[in-house]
Amino acid sequence: MKFKLKVWRQKTATAPGKLVEYQAKDVSPNTSFLEMLDVVNEGLVAQGKEPIAFDSDCREGICGTCSLTINGEAHGPDHPGAACEVYMRRFKDGETIVVEPFRAKPFPLIKDLVVDRSALDRIVQAGGFIAARAGSAPEANSILVPKHEADRSMEAAACIGCGACAAACPNASAMLFTAAKVSHLAFLPQGQPERTTRVLKMVTAMDAEGFGNCTNTYECEAVCPASISASLIAKLNREYAIASLKRRAGE
Amino acid sequence: MIGTLDSRIPSGPLAQKWATHKDHARLVSPNNRRKFQVIVVGSGLAGGAAAATLGELGYNVKCFCYQDSPRRAHSIAAQGGINAAKNYQNDGDSVFRLFYDTIKGGDFRSREANVYRLAEVSNLIIDHCVEQGVPFAREYGGLLANRSFGGAQVSRTFYARGQTGQQLLLGAYQALCRQIAAGTVAMFPQTEMLDLVLVDGHAKGIITRSLVTGKIAAHAADAVVLATGGYGNVFYLSTNARGCNVTATYRAYKKGALFANPCFTQIHPTCIPVSGQNQSKLTLMSESLRNDGRVWVPKKAGDKRSPKQIPEEERDYYLERKYPSFGNLAPRDISSRAAKEVCDEGRGVGESGRGVYLDFADAINRVGEQTIRERYGNLFHIYEKITGENAYERPMRIYPAVHYTMGGLWVDYNLMSNIPGLHVIGEANFSDHGANRLGASALMQGLADGYFVLPYTLPVYLAGQIGKRPPTDHQEFCKAEDEVRARTTKLLSINGSRSVDSFHRELGFLLWDKCGMARNTRGLREALTWIPEMREQFWRDVRVPGIGKEFNQSLERAGRVADFLEFAELMCIDALTRDESCGGHFREEHQTPDGEALRDDEHFADVFAWEYQGNGSIAAPKLHREPLVFETVELTQRSYK
Ligand SMILES: Cc1cc2nc3c(=O)[nH]c(=O)nc-3n(C[C@H](O)[C@H](O)[C@H](O)COP(=O)(O)OP(=O)(O)OC[C@H]3O[C@@H](n4cnc5c(N)ncnc54)[C@H](O)[C@@H]3O)c2cc1C
Ligand code: SF4
Ligand code: FES
């Protein structure tokens, strides 16, 4: 197969950027999208040019490092899945493919297709945890967790922290990401003691990072590689409302 | 320079060693802890857990990783599960049995005392992770669920769907985030350690390069902990992430830390086979699949019919046939070699002929597709993404791939290397898995080291070190920084004709061929003549575009590949010197009549720990041997028949 690529090139955060055209030839349909970019990069290096900078690590959809917008879609056409799980058999031979970084104000660009997503880490640092000191836990089976609750918690915990939800959202909202973490912990008995403060602190941090509000466009759910359900955003709103009431009541 | 290797194993009966050690180990009092700066390189299960726990205790910690967030360390990719001796299934498990299975699985090439301690603390890990909010799989009654893994006849593996590593790492990451917020841990993502700094023979700091700005910086500390994971990427194709490397441990080796058993690598039997030339990594299909999947190939060589058309009596379920008591759950090294063998006989499946079937048809008939989906849904999903095939309908094709490295920096019972102050935890050390690691035991080891061992053993060193932290303008820091700068400049100035990746690929294929699933004297000797040539060519002809003071992925990789090109030689030297077969180290010259690994306990029941000899002499490291003393277990020929 062969493709025409239009790739966003931008040397630094402040330099101007533009789409640059490249050809990808003799591509096997069983090549992954990132491997196709590897081959293009090998070609660029051979010509003495700078390769396209893009992020990846696990290349199997679990680490959340890859972050490409392919033909306008965060993570490309093969949902649910991360950009590294997209294979060239998904494209038509001869197709033009536009590759851009994840764009959201709280994700400043570093170079080409690489952005800084540390804002997501700071939301977790604000309270996305259970204060469990090593060595202080009770015996694991002493607190029973109904399978149904454990399953719901696991579904929320599956978030890979990629930030596609915010990149896809017209308001650059990180509600799906935050909702996933709040829900993961709120579904478990161990998460109860800090339930109120956690959601208040995380939402405050999210706003402080400059992520926008949710206006129910569901773009986040559509691109989420971990199939996090947008219904968790409603849960986040409920958790937040109850927590605010409790706080006001002085609890 | 280095005297006898003292493993500092406490005396007394095996089951009491750890308790006695803790009772008498030196402590650092709470108000002194904040006077210490500890560097933890790595934020995976081992490093993340250690940094968080040391922070909780009140030490000042600096934690480094090369990814853009600590949550992305490669531990995230572990699928199948984590072992613990809880005996929740009432099926006869115990601390002793977990210890015994692990030491036998490692083909009797690990230390009794370390492995016993690992089994002992395994239960604490499960308690702690549940408390952190790790959503382990549960039974309907709300109790924790278990599954079976290779090399064991009990069900002791805890899991969170097919994402156990992800969930355990997020637990550690969240604990780490809590400490970052509390100010005890300073996190340095996208910051690569490029050298270790020794002052008066003690590890007192590191030199790093920011992968974002290219800035080279010095960090001083009272102790350094390496938790930098495994070096499987030396083979180019492996189940490791693209960035996994040997740089941190290899740099420490060049500063005098001993590298133990570098040739002990694990080839995992169930990975998606290689397809095409541009493949950049291999994907594991968790061993847990072997609970329900049956491995087979056609009985006839060259049988190209589709799997459904091959009738039952023309299939060879070779693992069940050869190892009736463990069947599809035979340990990894054995299952991998068995797969290689049937493919060598021309009975492999798939286009390349390097593949075997892993078939779920029986399991789906027995428990229904829904149950299989619940157990392994995400794995079937990954499989379909990569191959375009639906494994509910058609058996998976799998083949062995490089997965884990048992070798690593040598450490004593306190997890300290021979360099005072340098501690090594997780996959980066050599300690607990001997010549073959059993499934679900790496997550256990990483977390054991980080949460429950290092926090007790680090003070043994630190207690005597108050006020000894050097300033970063100490001449040793300046010297190391200059060396790192010079190396970066050198890499950028060669401006040759070949890309970094082309060298990496060439090296990887050579190693897979000569130092992979099977090794022999001739092949290893060939590799030992080719690797130096490849290295020489690299330093003459590599092309690294861009500059040092910027985000430069070619430069990052060039540094890592340069280290692999030296380290590969050490692996081959080790493999050649260990003139026996054991676990994953299969020397073709040493096998039983039915093709199993033949150990030589009389000559090789010891750890090989290699010392760099300096002056750029890579080819002639000095060998130190630590005899393995077995007081409790009897060395037997492993049998899984
Ligand atoms: C696909 C896969 C599946 C697996 N499944 C299982 C399983 O089911 N059960 C099981 O028990 N084990 C499993 N394993 C093995 C297990 O996951 C690993 O051995 C373990 O997670 C390693 O943890 P670690 O903390 O030692 O290293 P890692 O998690 O690899 O972390 C290494 C850390 O070091 C950092 N680092 C590395 N080099 C540098 C440097 N030069 N400078 C700065 N930072 C650096 C990295 O950024 C990272 O933070 C699996 C492994 C793989 C690859
Ligand atoms: S919610 Fe989904 S899209 Fe958002 S960060 Fe998590 S995995 Fe990525
Ligand atoms: S590279 Fe890890 S999710 Fe894509």
In tens, the pLDDT along B214-238 reads 999 999 999 999 999 999 999 999 9
Beta strand B60-64 with B37-41 is parallel
Instruction: Answer yes or no: is pLDDT of B445 > 60.
Output: yes
Per domain, the residue ranges of chain A are 3-111, 118-248
Least confident of B47-51, B386-390, B441-445, B617-621: B617-621
Instruction: Answer yes or no: is pLDDT of B288 > 90.
Output: no
Atom of ligand 2 nearest to the CA of A176: 1
CB contact under 8 A, B242 and A59: yes
On whether ipTM exceeds 0.95, the answer is yes
Cis peptide before B395 (omega within 30 of 0): no
Per domain, the residue ranges of chain B are 30-264+406-462, 268-402, 482-606
Tell me the CA end-to-end span of chain A in Å, nearest whole number: 63
CA distance A39 to chain B (A): 7
Task: Return the CATH superfamily for domain B30-264+406-462.
Answer: FAD/NAD(P)-binding domain (3.50.50.60)
Q: Which of B247, B225, B220, B218 is nearest to B234 (CA)?
A: B247
Give the tokens for residue B174.
């969240």
Is the CB–ligand 3 distance for residue A212 below 6 Å? no
pLDDT value for B486: 97
Per-residue pLDDT tens digits for A130-179: 999 999 999 999 999 999 999 999 999 999 999 999 999 999 999 999 99
A69-100 exposure pattern, b = at least 16 Cβ within 10 A, e = fewer: bbeebbbbebbbbbbbbbbbebbeeeeebebb
pLDDT value for B37: 98
List the CATH code of the domain at B482-606.
1.20.58.100
Q: Does A178 touch chain B (CB under 8 A)?
A: no
For residue A85, what pLDDT band results from cuts at 50, 70 and 90? very high
Number of H helices, E strands in chain A: 8, 7
Q: By three-state DSSP, how is residue B191 classified?
A: strand
Instruction: Answer yes or no: is pLDDT of B432 > 70.
Output: yes
Q: Which residues of B touch A30 (CB under 8 A)?
A: 275-276, 387-388
pLDDT value for A40: 97
Q: Could you tell me which chain A residue has the CA closest to the CA of B138? A: A147
For residue A193, what pLDDT band results from cuts at 50, 70 and 90? very high
Question: To 10 degrees, what angle do helices B112-132 and B95-105 make?
Answer: 120
Select A3-111's CATH number: 3.40.190.290, 3.10.20.30, 3.30.300.30, 3.40.50.720. 3.10.20.30
Neighbours of A129 (CB within 10 A): 26
CA–CA distances in Å: residue B490 to residues B331, B392, B480, B495, B544: 45, 53, 15, 10, 10
Closest ligand to the CA of B406: 1
Q: Which of B259, B243, B523, B288 is nearest to B411 (CA)?
A: B259
pLDDT value for B245: 98
Number of H helices, E strands in chain B: 18, 19
In this prediction, what percent of chain A has a pLDDT beyond 70? 100
Q: Does A141 touch chain B (CB under 8 A)?
A: yes
Per-residue pLDDT tens digits for B166-215: 999 999 999 999 999 999 999 999 999 999 999 999 999 999 999 999 99
Query: What's the topology of domain A118-248?
Result: Fumarate Reductase Iron-sulfur Protein; Chain B, domain 2 (1.10.1060)
Is the CB–ligand 3 distance for residue A163 below 6 Å? no
Q: Which residues of B touch A3 (CB under 8 A)?
A: none
What is the rounded average pLDDT for all residues in chain B? 95
Q: Which one-letter DSSP state was computed for residue B300?
A: S
pLDDT value for B2: 61
pLDDT value for B3: 60
Q: Does B52 touch chain A (CB under 8 A)?
A: yes
Q: Which residues of B touch A158 (CB under 8 A)?
A: 161, 163, 166
Instruction: Answer yes or no: is pLDDT of B381 > 60.
Output: yes
Check: CATH 3.20.20.150 for B268-402? no
Q: Which of A104-113, B283-292, B350-359 has the highest mean pLDDT?
A: A104-113
Closest ligand to the CA of A211: 2
- Distance of CA A159 from the midpoint of ligand 2 (Å): 5
Beta bridge partners of A115: A109
Give the tokens for residue B251.
């740099």
CB contact under 8 A, A129 and B388: no
Q: Which of B437, B394, B583 is nearest to B80 (CA)?
A: B437
Contact B52, B176 (CB under 8 A): yes
Sheet containing B223-226, strands listed edge to edge, beginning at the edge strand earlier in sequence: B185-188, B60-64, B37-41, B223-226, B422-424
List all residues 6 or more positions away from A88 whose beta carbon is below 8 Å from its beta carbon: A1, A3, A27, A28, A29, A30, A31, A32, A33, A36
Is the CB–ligand 2 distance for residue A214 below 6 Å? no
Per-residue pLDDT tens digits for A236-247: 999 999 999 999
Q: By three-state DSSP, how is residue A114 classified?
A: strand
> What mean pLDDT comes out for the span B439-463?
97
Q: Does B210 touch chain A (CB under 8 A)?
A: no
> What mean pLDDT comes out for the span B516-537?
96
The yes-or-no answer on residue B251 being catalytic is no
Per-residue pLDDT tens digits for B538-590: 999 999 999 999 999 999 999 999 999 999 999 999 999 999 999 999 999 99
Q: Could you tell me which chain A residue has the CA closest to the CA of B173? A: A129
Q: Max Cα separation, chain B?
A: 74
pLDDT value for B148: 87
Is the CB–ligand 1 distance for residue B284 below 6 Å? yes
